[in-house]
């Protein structure tokens, strides 16, 4: 006697979970990627599916480091509208992020009250050591040339726009682009 097991309940559970997170994640989406948190835990970026995201390469010893304050304010102001900031420390520019994960986390919390998600340090520059995250983002034709470059992603994890490091978190053009992305459904 052969037993037939229906996979329909499992498919329904998987579908329901995907819907709760903003729908199915496209294979070519940023949200299809996996990485590691600053605390060293695996992180599936699919958890941000359905949110508008600002991906930022950050550094603790840069002249632009005070942008952390503006990023945190932006996150606080917009997180309840489906917005998230994803911080990726990088030591690529001027060796301005030499710290360990614990040092980075402590610095960000103590000096800027950072509560938005932070991930493990990675390489943004093109080359053999470039992270998969920035290899993906670089397909837009833009890569950071300094710390605090920003990529705005739509709710499906597709890059809408790149902003160079000089564009501060309170810049009208950035806020306008975020508001437009948040208004789109």
Active site residues: 111
Contact 19, 51 (CB under 8 A): no
SS3 179: helix
Contact 147, 58 (CB under 8 A): yes
Length of the chain: 185
**Helix 67-78 / helix 172-183 crossing angle, nearest 10 deg:** 30
Structure tokens at 75: 């996150």
Distance in angstroms (rounded) separating the CA atoms of residues 110 and 28: 37
């Amino acid at each position: 006697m052969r037993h037939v097991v229906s996979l329909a309940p499992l498919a329904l559970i998987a579908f329901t979970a995907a819907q709760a997170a903003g729908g199915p994640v496209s294979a070519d989406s940023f949200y299809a990627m996996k990485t590691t948190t600053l605390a060293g835990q695996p992180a599936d970026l699919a958890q941000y599916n359905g949110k508008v995201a600002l991906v930022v390469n950050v550094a603790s010893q840069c002249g632009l480091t005070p942008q952390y304050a503006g990023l945190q304010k932006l996150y606080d102001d917009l997180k309840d509208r489906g917005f998230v900031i994803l911080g990726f420390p990088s030591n690529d520019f001027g060796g301005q992020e030499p710290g360990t994960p614990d040092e980075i986390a402590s610095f960000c919390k103590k000096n800027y009250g950072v509560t938005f998600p932070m991930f493990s340090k990675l390489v943004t520059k093109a080359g053999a050591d470039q992270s998969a995250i920035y290899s993906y983002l670089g397909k837009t034709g833009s890569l950071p040339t300094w710390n605090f470059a920003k990529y705005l992603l739509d709710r499906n994890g597709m890059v809408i726009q790149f902003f160079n490091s000089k564009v501060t978190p309170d810049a009208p053009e950035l806020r306008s682009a975020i508001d437009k992305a948040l208004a789109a459904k």
